[in-house]
């Protein structure tokens, strides 16, 4: 495949409501949208990095720089031999920057699949036409506000509720939601690394609420700590930020650090490595689910395709477009009986709305091949 141009477009997407985690509060989603232009197709992807290095060490300004100055030149060196399957190997000498690598691989894969008329789902190995949708509920100012929000999401049809937690906002919010909505509600929590092993006794107070899982309670590099925590609490531990590769997944599973994995393609370098993590987990009998990074319809389309693989057996954070945006960059993803439909068109299977994209674009940088 011969690339003619790679376009980096910075966009600002207002959120329908503030989204608060243990890292801070977001009121908009700032994204670098990447378009890969070839003679035969256009490939689209979005960089999942935040504007500030709080969720991870990556952030958008640094991502744009490393893409332009370090990653793209390595792809240019491949010439006409370039394909999505060669991207990870070509970029491996550049340490880290997995989200920057992921957005390039994904846009190239989108263009490649559009050229051959194959959908993301078919290429990755999807086995379902729809995937169950969960929703992530941020930290709120009061229990009553939280209960109203959860009631609203359940009324919309979401099949699973995830509560963001942090010290001071954990046991009581979970208790309130469980008591209000009953034992049949699929409920889990996400700590985003906010605790330490010293908090094990406190985290064990969540055990009576029959949670699906506790996501990433401690620092991402504390695999042994998670393995020790798993021995002290009954709630299954799910790792998110700790898993950046199939090798990480195998290590964490072998050490007993997790019994569930949240697969975020952007965090692991792209959808091809995400599929490898899925396969490693399946071989060990460990279920996975697809996490989210407040994606627009561009990223959501590829995530939904990934979530249709056989070992994605838990509802993911693949929410409808309306969860985050009044106007998406693509036709909106909408709930159908608590599920999202897997796109079947070539590549990611959705079309970017040019007028909408133009209206939220702050800057554009084109790199000629």
Residues carrying an active site annotation: 164, 264
**Inter-helix orientation angle 84-91/271-283, to 10°:** 90
Rounded Cα–Cα distance for residues 136 and 190 (Å): 9
Strand pairing class (24-38; 361-368): unpaired
- Residue in the structure block whose two tokens are 């989200």: 99
Question: Nearest to residue 38, comparing CAs of 97, 98, 83, 8?
Answer: 83
Q: What b-and-e string marks burial along 308-339, b requiring 16 or more CB atoms within 10 Å of the CB?
A: bbebbebbbbbbbbebbbeebbbeebebeebb
State both tokens at 347.
């590549």
């Amino acid at each position: 495949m011969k690339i003619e141009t790679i376009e980096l477009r910075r966009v600002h997407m207002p959120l329908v409501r503030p989204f608060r985690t243990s890292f801070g509060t977001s009121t908009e989603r700032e994204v670098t949208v990447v378009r890969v232009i070839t003679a035969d197709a256009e490939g689209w992807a979005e960089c999942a990095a935040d504007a500030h290095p709080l969720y991870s060490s990556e952030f958008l300004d640094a991502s744009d720089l490393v893409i332009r100055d370090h990653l793209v030149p390595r792809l240019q060196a491949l010439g006409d031999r370039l394909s999505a399957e060669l991207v990870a190997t070509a970029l491996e000498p550049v340490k880290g920057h997995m989200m920057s690598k992921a957005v390039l691989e994904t846009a190239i894969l989108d263009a490649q699949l559009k050229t051959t008329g194959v959908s993301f789902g078919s290429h990755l190995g999807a086995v379902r036409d729809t995937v169950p949708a969960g929703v992530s509920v941020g930290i709120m100012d009061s229990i009553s506000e939280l209960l109203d929000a959860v009631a609203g999401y359940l009324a919309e049809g979401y099949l699973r509720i995830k509560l963001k937690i942090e010290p001071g906002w954990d046991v009581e919010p979970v208790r309130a939601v469980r008591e209000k909505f009953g034992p049949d509600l699929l409920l889990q929590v996400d700590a985003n690394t906010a605790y330490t092993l010293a908090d094990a006794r406190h985290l064990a107070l969540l055990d009576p609420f029959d949670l699906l899982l506790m996501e990433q309670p401690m620092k991402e590099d504390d695999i042994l700590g998670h393995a020790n925590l798993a021995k002290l609490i009954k709630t299954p531990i799910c790792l998110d930020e700790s898993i950046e590769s199939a090798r990480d997944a195998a290590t964490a599973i072998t050490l007993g650090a997790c019994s569930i994995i949240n697969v975020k393609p952007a965090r692991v370098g792209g959808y091809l490595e995400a599929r490898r993590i899925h396969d490693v987990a399946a071989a060990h009998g460990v279920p996975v689910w697809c996490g989210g990074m407040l994606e627009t319809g561009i990223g959501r389309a590829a995530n939904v395709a990934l979530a249709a693989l056989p070992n994605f057996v838990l509802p993911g954070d693949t929410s409808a477009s309306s969860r985050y945006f009044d106007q998406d960059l693509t036709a909106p993803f909408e709930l159908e009986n608590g599920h999202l439909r897997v796109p079947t068109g070539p590549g990611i299977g959705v079309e970017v709305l040019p007028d909408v994209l133009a209206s939220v674009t702050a800057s554009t940088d084109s790199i000629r091949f």
